[in-house]
Amino acid sequence: IPTLVFSSSTQVARHAALIIEKLIRENNAAGKATVLGLATGSTPMGLYRELIRMHREEGLDFSRVISFNLDEYYPLAKEDTQSYHTFMHDNLFKHINIKPENIHIPNGEVKPEEIDDFCLKYEQAIRRAGGLDVQILGIGRTGHIGFNEPGSTRTCRTRLVTLDPITRRDAAAGFFGEENVPHRAITMGVGTIMDSRKVLLMAYGEHKARIVQRTLENDLTEAVPASFLQRHQDATFLLDTAAAGELT
């Protein structure tokens, strides 16, 4: 997997933002939509800050952008401060001119008996939009992409999953205690991510160095779902020096 190492997370964010900016501007000029797969968590925050700056200062127009987020905790109300719905509006959508009807985030409020139908429709909506042009990813310490935890298969699609205990522990601070972290989530599948025409995985910090090393330098394995990206035709890892620290 092509890997670029930058001196700081700000540089990583800047690089990713320039790729997305170019794509949006080219599509806008051609009158076409740009379909973005988006992630939450600490990793993409700098990217979103830079995209907001480009919108405000450089006229980057999001009116033709269609977005699909990777995942949402389940069950969780959209208006909950911990929801990815809230995160995306606060950290990106509120500050740009994306159309509300073009925003898609898995719904943590759907009734249990309606989850399967919701997930099928999410996949259909991605396809109807023309497929993802680029998927932004972070990586969990378990090797998850989206919330596809170890054991996820190459072909899995959007579905309800159970979170790994390590993932729930890593989310504990945001929920004021591990006991408040939902046990489940709705996530795009590995297959959904693999269908994206381009993938940009970002990782920062020493705590990601080990899983980045296992993903890039070991054989492909279900035990590290991010390693499926070894088979993607256009995936790039964007790392800061700390996250690249265990690469040989």
Size of the site for ligand F6R (CB under 6 A): 14
Provide φ and ψ at 175, rounded to 5°: -105, 10
| Distance of alpha carbon 96 from alpha carbon 160, whole angstroms | 30
Looking at 13, 20, 70, 92, which residue binds ligand F6R (CB under 6 A)?
A: 70
42 binds ligand F6R (CB under 6 A): yes
Looking at 75, 106, 138, 225, which residue binds ligand F6R (CB under 6 A)?
A: 138
**Which span sits near ligand F6R by CB under 6 A: 48-56, 119-127, 142-150, 234-242?**
142-150
In 70-133, alpha helices (H): 84-91, 115-128
41 binds ligand F6R (CB under 6 A): yes
Closest to 54 in 3D by CA, of 101, 13, 100, 105: 13
**Which span sits near ligand F6R by CB under 6 A: 10-18, 33-41, 94-102, 209-217?**
33-41
Looking at 36, 54, 145, 163, which residue binds ligand F6R (CB under 6 A)?
A: 145
193 binds ligand F6R (CB under 6 A): no
Nearer to ligand F6R, 32 or 154 (CB): 154
Phi-psi map region of 50: left, alpha, beta (phi>0 left; psi -120 to 50 alpha): alpha
Cα–Cα distance list, 164 to 1, 4, 129, 140, 199 (Å): 25, 29, 31, 10, 23
What does the block give as tokens for 65? 């952008």
Residues interacting with ligand F6R, by CB under 6 A? 39-43, 70-71, 138-140, 144-147
